[in-house]
Amino acid sequence: MMSLLVVAAIVAAVALGYRTKINIGLFAIAFAYLIGCFAMGLSPSEVIGMWPLKIFFIIFSVCLFYSFATVNGTLEKLAEHLIYHCRTVPQLLPFAVFFTATLISAMGAGYYTVLAFMAPITLLLCERTGMSLITGGMAVNYGALSGANFVSSQSGIIFRGLMVNAGIPENEAFLNAAGIFVSTLVIPLLVISALVFLTGHGKAMKATAFVATEPAPLNREQKTTLWLTLTMMAIVLAAPITQILFPDNATLSFINSKMDIGLIASLFSVIALLLKLGDERKAMASVPWATLIMICGVGMLISVAIKAGTIDVLASWMSNSIPPILVPIVFGIVAAFMSLFSSTLGVVTPALFPMVPPIASALGLDPMILFVAIVVGAQATSISPFSSGGSLILGSCTTEQSRAALFPQLLFRAAPLGFVAALVFNALLTFVY
């Protein structure tokens, strides 16, 4: 009975957030309090203690540091340069858009930020070069998603934190996050290649190179920010990789035990401020506070669900009702439909990731397969006009006519294409492993 009540609360939080446009996390906090204290007899301190403090600190610290590259224009200038250098090969422009969005997102801009300044550029390029809106939209959306999934970028860090909270060791969480990144890098390349080379896209584009003005070079602050970002990424990646390669080395184990991406990012934020790379108030304002509240609020409600035994009940039902070979595919489908109307980071992964360890253990599956299937499925439909990615792309249209023309293309072509690609990938992944 209690498990049904918690599941109903999760559904209600998502539905109310979608309906009222109020942050889902706030509804989740309210339900966590009401159910935890009055239905389960927990103390207020116990419910407050369910706030995922470590995830909150890591996301805040990393986003604060990366926000300097956004505030001082480093990422936008870098995107302009990369697009400019591809002006002579318009047929390969979708790949240029994809890799540019991937790189900028991997450097910490995050999914929403990249779409905010890359989507208008991409739609403008579609007008100038003859690139189809579907191809351009999927390239920039997929790129922003893939880069954000990088192990040291925003989504990758969130995934790792959720895995650790679910009981996965740090090193395994790092490898699982790397598997998610690689998977979400491969699928877009296959889809974009099919659109470009199998649908006559290259012939449809204009034969001549599009006109592009050479952007101004990076200034001192932007160059310093770029090098500082690359340095932090190298430090963050080097520690766990060397630990995996040399697990018995005592010195490397000691160094790795002292590494924390949140604390490292905080240190680099201080360095950025001392070097005057950006305004502190603007950097603070650029932190995605709404996303933080949503992730942590839903995390509290999920913790209540775990305390009530809901996750174990659902995991047991799936283990007994679904053949093991179909579990990753089912996870992907469920995640895809949830993502149509809710956030991958704020709702889908916090709700589904805790179910992975018990199901993987019961069925003898590799947890990485299930984690990958969830993210691949959830992000497959993110270009739907009802989801955050699709709505941002629609918002980048310059006229109401182009917006009206793009809406059905995103809903009836791009989203189904992404869903089918994810379904095929998850099926292949399941059968291969």
pLDDT digits (tens, 9 = 90+) for 249-273: 888 888 878 888 889 989 999 999 9
Asked if 95 and 140 count as a contact pair (C-beta separation under 8 A), the reply is no
Q: Is the pLDDT of residue 121 over 80?
A: no
Mean pLDDT of all residues in 326-340: 86
pLDDT digits (tens, 9 = 90+) for 339-397: 776 678 877 888 889 889 988 888 888 999 999 999 999 888 888 776 667 767 777 67
Higher pLDDT, 382 or 416: 416
Rounded to an integer, what distance in angstroms lies between the CA atom of residue 97 and that of residue 244? 33
Q: Report the C-alpha dihedral over residues 142, 146, 148, 150, rounded to 10 degrees.
A: 180
Q: Is the pLDDT of residue 203 over 70?
A: no
pLDDT confidence tier of residue 243, bands split at 50, 70 and 90: confident
Least reliable range by pLDDT among 13-27, 35-49, 83-97, 182-196: 83-97
Please tell me the predicted confidence (pLDDT) of residue 292: 84
Asked if 157 and 238 count as a contact pair (C-beta separation under 8 A), the reply is no
Identify the burial level of 204 via C-beta atoms within 10 angstroms of its C-beta, where 0-12 means exposed, 13-18 middle and 19 or more buried.
Answer: middle
CA angle 367/368/370 to nearest 5° reads: 65
pLDDT digits (tens, 9 = 90+) for 25-74: 899 999 999 999 998 989 999 999 999 888 888 888 888 888 898 888 88
Q: Is the pLDDT of residue 414 over 70?
A: yes
Please tell me the predicted confidence (pLDDT) of residue 208: 46
Could you give the C-alpha distances from 321 to 113, 119, 310, 317, 374, in angstroms and in order? 41, 43, 16, 6, 19
The phi and psi torsions of 131 (rounded to 5 degrees) equal: -65, 135
